[in-house]
């Protein structure tokens, strides 16, 4: 019994030591990053990620502004008044950029999005069919009042204590 308690105490001490070590290492990292003396590899990875996120944000905002501009000029309707500009004034240049954007969008962005939408529709239908089959199965089990029966009877509980055990006897002694 004492050995088990000693083992438990040793495990607790090891757990506390690991927790203290982790806490001190986190404090050290916070202090180092707070002073701007971060490790170069971690710092460069984070900077690259932030630059990528910033670039994506700028691109998304520029595309949004461009789409709003095209909407306000009426270029998005079913029969737009678009033509390939022959001269390069500012309005013609913006219209040419919009035509290139629409072409890029229809050739390179729309097909993967349509494929993903088709995959999502297929998965939705598959899940719906699965739910219907499960509901029919549950209804069938309820209708037929099917009860599960174990194949092996060894799972039944048996009395593991002998009948004349001291703590279970009715003489009041323990």
Residue 53 domain flag: no
pLDDT for 86 equals 66
Whether 164 shows a pLDDT value over 80: the answer reads no
Best mean pLDDT range from 39-53, 87-101, 131-145: 131-145
pLDDT for 174 equals 45
Residue 11 domain flag: no
Residue numbers of the domain that contains 106 = 82-147
63-97 pLDDT, tens digit each? 888 888 878 877 765 555 555 666 667 667 777 77
Residue 105 domain flag: yes
Number of domains into which the chain is organized:
1
**What does the alpha-carbon distance between residue 76 and residue 65 come to, in Å, rounded to a whole number?**
14
The b-or-e profile of 82-102 (16+ CB within 10 A means b, else e) is beeeeeeeeeeebbeebbeee
Residue 128 domain flag: yes
Q: How far apart are the first and last CA of the chain?
A: 21
Angle between helices 90-104 and 40-73 (to 10 degrees): 110
Residue, of 7 and 77, whose pLDDT is higher: 7
Residue 142 domain flag: yes
Lowest mean pLDDT among 53-57, 94-98, 148-152, 169-173: 169-173
Residue 55 domain flag: no
Whether 22 shows a pLDDT value over 50: the answer reads yes
Q: Two tokens at 91?
A: 């309005």
Do 59 and 53 contact (CB within 8 A), yes or no?
no
pTM value is 0.41
Unique residue bearing structure tokens 């290492």: 25
Residue 99 domain flag: yes
Phi, psi of 126 (to 5 degrees): -65, -40
């Amino acid at each position: 019994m004492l050995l088990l308690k000693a083992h438990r105490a040793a495990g607790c001490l090891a757990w506390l030591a690991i927790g203290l070590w982790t806490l001190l290492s986190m404090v050290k990292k916070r202090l180092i990053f707070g002073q701007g003396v971060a490790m170069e590899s971690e710092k460069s990875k984070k900077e690259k990620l932030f630059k990528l996120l910033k670039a994506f944000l700028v691109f998304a905002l520029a595309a949004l502004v461009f789409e709003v501009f095209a909407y306000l000029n009426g270029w998005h309707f079913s029969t737009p008044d678009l033509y390939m500009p022959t001269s390069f004034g500012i309005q013609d240049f913006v219209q040419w950029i919009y035509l290139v954007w629409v072409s890029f969008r229809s050739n390179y962005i729309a097909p993967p999005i349509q494929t993903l939408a088709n995959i999502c529709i297929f998965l939705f239908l598959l899940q719906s069919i699965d739910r219907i089959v499960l509901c029919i199965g549950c209804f069938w089990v309820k209708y037929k009042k099917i009860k599960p029966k174990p194949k092996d009877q060894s799972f039944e509980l048996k009395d593991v204590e002998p009948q004349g055990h001291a703590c279970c006897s009715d003489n009041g002694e323990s």
